[in-house]
Structure 1
């Protein structure tokens, strides 16, 4: 199959922008993941299957290269054959993708890759960023790594423990790719970037801005699903006992401040179409906080069946979701 993203050019572009002063550490992520997975399972009731999940510490360049391969594989899987032959498009996509990932490589602490197209699911922990974050916040790096793993393994639980969630999201992305005429990077970015927590603020949604009317409902559903996924992971992080992570409250404060920080990364995020909207982190988190206050089992019901997913309107009005779910026989997906 022809390349939609020229991987070598993308990797070279990313590395030109990455400032790297340290490689991966020898941090024992398997030990930390054992603790984090128990917390996630207790809070979500979902299976994670760590035995089939690679968890590794990487440097910034390694994170960017892994993402380029993952993005490129997904884009090539979903791009219609009629769009594979555009002269120079693979190189243009490569420069755009490499520049974006190179710019964000210093910001990402950890990422779960669901491996939609190539490879196997994995969690990548960016050691240098974790250590710098911990030093800046005057926090313990092991605690920071554990807290980040809780977030990433919650995504693992969502995509592994709820197969229909993964398949529906992939189906929606396929619809967008097959019908759209804009850059595939713009389309895939808005959906996937939230899994990495890139950027902050209220960016211009390039992908949705230029979509024809008939596709906006598809994009809206995909955005809603990822808002649910990110809000759920945020909520789980904030439920971790201080017996497990003693400085959890301090982490939350620093993370919230970090997401509101200004700078070049924020400007790029606002115009790239791959930015993660802080408002949607907030909306998703507030939704789960609200339903959990009403019913401690409610967050698990969201992932019990496809009908449990909130609509876009219900995300901003959790009481509406609670009323709808109250009319149904409770059904919780557990271990």
Structure 2
């Protein structure tokens, strides 16, 4: 699409945009989509055009930067944690290459599209609007603004892996590696940073909004669209570009509403990743068997032994525990519920206004099915594959709940995490809908009122028990009186005067 509305500029507009490129290179090689993929993280041209001395110089320069970053990490710099984020950020920027700076008209276009979509969303959800500011980001801005959230996500996983490695290293290997443990830790941080940088560099060029991966990566209340990625996305579709932009703006505004007004949601997603990380363990049996017959001195004199020891990659593979599988299932379910809810409210808000809403919704589903940014990110960093089937079924659950109740009933489920459906509910929504419709969702709306109701019920039960106990005691007393004989009655009052009117039984009175 060459004529994008709202001031969005297509990435294929020609030489007129070349003077707006940043310092990634005048020849435009850095903007080649194939130059910075995961298999070629340094962004070198690998086509069949012959040897390029400039590319070789660039390679050595970038390698030097990587080793320089490793050195600063070893000296206690910014790379001292479980992940060297300085290496990650530098590598991601190199992979992004050249990009188009955001123009003022594009920022205005984003603001207008989000404002329009937010008005339409008011009719289909009880959650109030949460957008306080709308902005347009370049890929580098997305990288810089989202990096704090990536640190929260990645640190638990990388940190647990590092601790597990250090705590379970066989004695023979630990004796050899002891003096080098600090260096190995920093090299591990650099390895994680390299992997993260490759993923984020590719992701930065593909994401369309700040919530495209299912997590809120922008500050609270900020809606973000990435014009350059949207222009590329629109080029491959036959739908009107104006409808595409408003559709994506509606998805972003719906995500912002949800994460702004469902206070527990953001933390629940992040804490589930931490739960997964706490269960990480590594099977060291293979390396223990190898190291058992190796003399540490031999490792120093024969490098091949060390290479053999370290090349046992199967021995270092993290083992998935049942607890981890459960945490991943919860994360998958929650992400599917978020995406399903957004899909539902956006469809209902736009269907009567934008003819291409159904086609664009299916396009987003196919994007997930083919391995979009969210799926690639979680598969790489967390080991989670977000199945498209779960999203489709989560969307169906929200739709059925709305049909069985109303908008208040559907959105009221977000009031508390205990009210949310689980994986089994997504697979079989009928039981969940019956519980919500039958039991209501008001229990957590006013926790004080609920507590008072519970205490009143307990007091009432205690009063009933006391009444029942008193009745039981009285009945026992009455029963005892009935069972007493004449002798017992006489013995109850030994001082009673029986001499008056004595009768011997024959009708005469004794004197």
TM-score range, shorter chain: 0.7 to 0.9
Alignment of 1:95 onto 2:194: yes
Deviates more, 1:79-88 or 1:142-151: 79-88
CA contact (8 A) 2:131 2:256 kept: no
Rounded Cα–Cα distance in structure 2 between residues aligned with 1:109 and 1:180? 32
Counting matched residue pairs gives 303
Rounded Cα–Cα distance in structure 2 between residues aligned with 1:267 and 1:32? 27
Aligned to 2:421: 310
Query: Which structure 2 residue ranges, 5 or more long, are not aligned?
Result: 1-77, 164-181, 283-317, 446-511
Quote the offset at 1:7 in angstroms. 2.3
Q: Which structure has the larger Rg over C-alpha atoms?
A: 2
Rounded Cα–Cα distance in structure 1 between residues aligned with 2:376 and 2:267? 30
CA contact (8 A) 2:136 2:224 kept: yes
Aligned to 2:324: 215
CA contact (8 A) 1:5 1:93 kept: yes
Alignment of 1:114 onto 2:193: no
Deviates more, 1:294-303 or 1:90-99: 294-303
Secondary structure, counterpart of 1:111 in structure 2: coil
1:105 to 204, 207, 212: 204
CA contact (8 A) 1:234 1:281 kept: no
Rounded Cα–Cα distance in structure 2 between residues aligned with 1:21 and 1:296? 46
Quote the offset at 1:333 in angstroms. 9.8
Quote the offset at 1:271 in angstroms. 5.7
> 1:268-299 CA distances to partner (integer Å, 9 max, x unpaired)?
67962365432232222222223223333342
CA contact (8 A) 2:251 2:342 kept: yes
> 1:54-81 CA distances to partner (integer Å, 9 max, x unpaired)?
4321222332343334302444488769
Alignment of 1:47 onto 2:128: yes
Q: TM-score, normalised by structure 2?
A: 0.52
Secondary structure, counterpart of 1:124 in structure 2: strand
> 1:186-228 CA distances to partner (integer Å, 9 max, x unpaired)?
xxxxxxxxxxxxxxxxxxxxxxx84322333233223222211
RMSD (Å) for aligned C-alpha atoms: 3.5
Query: Which structure 1 residue ranges, 5 or more long, are not aligned?
Result: 183-208
Rounded Cα–Cα distance in structure 2 between residues aligned with 1:224 and 1:271? 15
Where in structure 2 are the equivalents of 1:1-335 lying within 5 Å? 2-18=80-96, 20-25=98-103, 26-27=105-106, 28=108, 29-51=110-132, 54-76=133-155, 83=162, 86-112=185-211, 114=216, 120=220, 122-181=222-281, 210-261=319-370, 272=380, 273=383, 276-297=386-407, 298-331=409-442
Aligned to 2:310: none
Quote the offset at 1:181 in angstroms. 4.4
Secondary structure, counterpart of 1:163 in structure 2: coil
Rounded Cα–Cα distance in structure 1 between residues aligned with 2:193 and 2:221? 23
Quote the offset at 1:319 in angstroms. 0.6
> 1:121-171 CA distances to partner (integer Å, 9 max, x unpaired)?
643312112112223213343432221122122222222111123333333
Quote the offset at 1:179 in angstroms. 4.0
